[in-house]
Amino acid sequence: MIEVADVFRRFAPDYLAAHGASMLPSHQRAIADILACRTEALGGHLWRCDQCSAERFSYHSCKNRSCPKCHADQTERWLHARRAEMLPSRYFHVTVTVPEELREVLRANQRDGYAILMKAAAEAIIELARDPRHVGGTVGVLAVLHTWTQQLAFHPHVHCLVTGGGVSEDGSLWHPARNDFIVPVKALAKLVRGKLRAAFAARRPDLVLPEAAWSKPWVVHCTAWGEGQQAVLDYLARYVFRVAITNARIVGLDDQAVTIRHKHRKSNRWRTSRIPGHEFMRRFLQHVLPKGLHKVRYFGLWHPARREQAARARLLLQLDRPATAR
Ligand SMILES: [Zn+2]
Ligand SMILES: [Zn+2]
């Protein structure tokens, strides 16, 4: 199997020679880590089985979260503790995409921009769901930031897993959402846009945002997303334990270029594209997040400050279920 590390081994020396001086430290770090991951550069461990004395040597991992070999491991460990807090409810999946006009502002201001985007998306969902015409309670939102398309273009968007119901203000009642509806998407798109604009004005008054971003409708999708723990696990696997590209999607490598496969949206078929080596590196690196930035965040009922309410909601939901469904 060809790995991102193999691509870097071939093209990184030249790429660094050409662009190294102007590159972000986080990007240089990602290259160095991915190159060293599970090689002798990081050393290793000799494992011996107590029973049969068989020995196996394994190299250490780089633990960089942009590394396709390390990312899933790390995220999984981090989220493991949170699984117990997930609710046995139905779920919805909401995706919010930033219009093209705002992409460069986000690229240049990732730390503030990504935080504002995730918060605006989650708070808009929570605010609309509180309306008694929709849910009438506080829903939980697990938001995850993606910055890519299948071909690694820069395309920031947020995936939100939303509980299909919410707790009343005093925490004593669970209000379930309807089967196939949680909030109206057009109203949601407008509200996200307004919240994002206000948040940028408050937090970064120095930035001039293009007017065109506020006059066009934003792209928001909402679908029903399964039920219970399995729904949460599916969501985590599909959206949270992800980096821009998996090694499995790299299908060719030669002296000039990398060939990757990607799913064509309209036909839903796999296609391949050949990307020149340096262009692949540039595209890959634009998805390396600033150090310490949380790409997974909890809001509403899942906000850490509401843990008690979430625990009560879980109890309400369990009591609510018919005995056979337990
Ligand atoms: Zn690694
Ligand atoms: Zn995505």
Dump the DSSP string for 308-321. Answer: HHHHHHHHHHHHHS
Which pLDDT belongs to residue 321?
65
User: pLDDT confidence of 83, banded at 50, 70, 90?
Assistant: low
Instruction: Enumerate the β-bridge partners of residue 270.
Output: 263
Which pLDDT belongs to residue 84?
61
Ligand having the closest approach to the CA of 221: 2
Structural fold of domain 71-244+287-325: Replication Protein E1; Chain: A, (3.40.1310)
**Mean pLDDT confidence for 25-33:** 95
Left if phi > 0, otherwise alpha if psi is -120 to 50, otherwise beta: which for 278? alpha
Which pLDDT belongs to residue 324?
45
Which pLDDT belongs to residue 229?
80
Give tens-digit pLDDT for 288-326: 999 989 999 999 998 988 888 888 888 888 876 654 443
How far, in Å, is the centroid of ligand 2 from the Cα of 148? 7
Give tens-digit pLDDT for 94-109: 999 999 999 999 999 9
Give tens-digit pLDDT for 109-151: 999 999 999 999 999 999 999 999 999 999 999 999 999 999 9
Give tens-digit pLDDT for 196-247: 999 999 999 999 999 999 999 999 999 999 888 888 888 888 888 888 998 9
Residue 27 has pLDDT above 70, yes or no: yes
**Mean pLDDT confidence for 37-47:** 85
pLDDT > 90 fraction of the chain, expressed in percent and rounded: 67
Which pLDDT belongs to residue 326?
39
| Domain chopping of the chain, boundaries | 4-59, 71-244+287-325
Ligand having the closest approach to the CA of 148: 2
**Mean pLDDT confidence for 269-297:** 95
Residue 37 has pLDDT above 70, yes or no: yes
How far, in Å, is the centroid of ligand 1 from the Cα of 35? 8
How far, in Å, is the centroid of ligand 1 from the Cα of 5? 9
Distances (CA, A) of 36 to 19, 42, 165, 278: 20, 6, 46, 19
Amino acid at 326: R
Could you tell me which of 238, 240, 260, 241 has the C-alpha nearest to residue 250?
260
Q: Indicate the DSSP class of residue 74.
A: H
Q: What is the mean pLDDT of the chain?
A: 90
How far, in Å, is the centroid of ligand 2 from the Cα of 214? 23
How far, in Å, is the centroid of ligand 2 from the Cα of 311? 29
Q: What are phi and psi of 9, to 5 degrees?
A: -60, -35
How far, in Å, is the centroid of ligand 1 from the Cα of 19? 23
Contact 99, 218 (CB under 8 A): yes
Distances (CA, A) of 13 to 18, 199, 282: 9, 41, 13
- The pair of structure tokens assigned to 234 is 């599916």
Ligand having the closest approach to the CA of 37: 1
